Amino acid sequence: METDHNDVLDCEEGCYPYPEVCVKLVTGLERNPRAAIPRMATMVIVSTEDELAEFTFETYSPDYARHTLSLLPDVRQQVQQLRDLEAQRQDGWLLRKLRSPYMVTYRGPTGVLQRRFVLARSAARAYRKEVPEPYAGSVIGLSDLDKELARMERAKTGKEKVPYAWSYARGGDFDRHAERVWAAMPPDEKARYAAIIEAIKEESPDGLRSPNEEDLHSCRTSEAPLGEKDPNPIPDHCVKLVIGIAGSLDVHSPRQYAQPMVVVTAKDDHGDTACDMAFKKRYPTARPQTVDDLADVRWQVQQLRDLDAQHGGGWLFRWMFKPCMVVHRGTMGAMHRQFLLAQGPVDARRKVVRRPYAGYALTLQQLEALLARMERVKAADHAWGHNRTSAPHA
């Protein structure tokens, strides 16, 4: 039977060609870089879920933190953009030797991925030109990215063996694989396995459990089939925003910035410990500060919008002063939250937070972007497991 090879439902280990959306390129950055430009590692992984591919990358490369994830069509487009940029250069071997096309990626203040395609004399010059301090990013040339694209094309057709990350969730590719194996199994062997399953059910009243099944129930009490609307959406209090401090330890330094992360917790997980642990696992060098659910972030955005509507002045005043939210902890560890007008996050921190206390500041635009990400996670079509995280990808 002829199938649509762009359908995720056709993805199964060993069944070539793989759907293009299942062939993924994961890049990671060195966790403790010793140079100004952190080293980068890449890995081609086949999986139906982005997060499983990222977890597989960190398992194989523990010294690198996941940075970007791109699908096969995305990498094709990136290579084409670099080729178009190379074609725009002037003729002559000397000019071509002096400047080469590079793709630079980094994450800004709200964790949104920034991607730039530039001509530069070297990878170091391209990195210093596009990545502002104190953010970390990656730079890759056309020839190297072209090699990764060739690997992904070979992995799609089975010419090169790459890791496959199974999804053991209900309705995942492992369940579909098991159903196909069961349907093709001879009757006598099927009867033997059926007897073994019945014996296990008699000894265990709870029956068989999936390897990925959690002891704590997920926020979604039931999982809807792929393509159908879930009757049990994620509650607002299960979608949480964890914000930590990264970069410089000096609260008044422009090198310090807020590092956000969206986490989905279980219904009965009312504490912040699980969120802090998930944040520290994802960003080991950052220090978590606050955990707010979806309703809290909506209220914070509304406060900043009200502040923006109250202050008058023309376009110049609005351009110079932006509504900001500053959060810091005082002497006794009590959290203080203040909404004010400032020239930016650094100026807002300097006005409110005193040394040596720690804190962070976000503008209205940055907080609105985080709220939009939380709303997308809440309305996600797939089921989220316990303490699963949301991260933007390429």
- Could you tell me the residue ranges of all domains in the chain? 8-165, 173-203, 236-390
Is residue 200 exposed (0-12), middle (13-18) or buried (19+ Cβ within 10 Å)?
A: exposed
Confidence of residue 339 (pLDDT cuts 50, 70, 90): very high
pLDDT tens for 340-384 read: 999 888 888 888 888 777 789 999 999 999 999 898 888 764 334
Q: For the chain, what is the mean pLDDT? A: 80
d(CA 17, CA 12): 10
pLDDT of residue 392: 39
Q: Is 35 helix (H, G, I), strand (E, B) or coil?
A: coil
**How many CA within 13 A on the CB side of residue 9?**
8
Sorted by sequence, the CB contacts under 8 Å of residue 334 that are 6+ apart come out as: none
Q: Are 167 and 49 in contact (CB under 8 A)?
A: yes
More confident residue, 248 or 103: 103
d(CA 69, CA 88): 28
pLDDT tens for 4-53 read: 455 778 898 889 999 999 999 999 998 877 677 888 999 999 999 998 99
First vs last C-alpha separation in the chain? 33
What's the pTM? 0.57
d(CA 338, CA 335): 10
Confidence of residue 297 (pLDDT cuts 50, 70, 90): very high
pLDDT of residue 211: 42
Q: Is 142 helix (H, G, I), strand (E, B) or coil?
A: helix
Residue 110 predicted with pLDDT over 50: yes
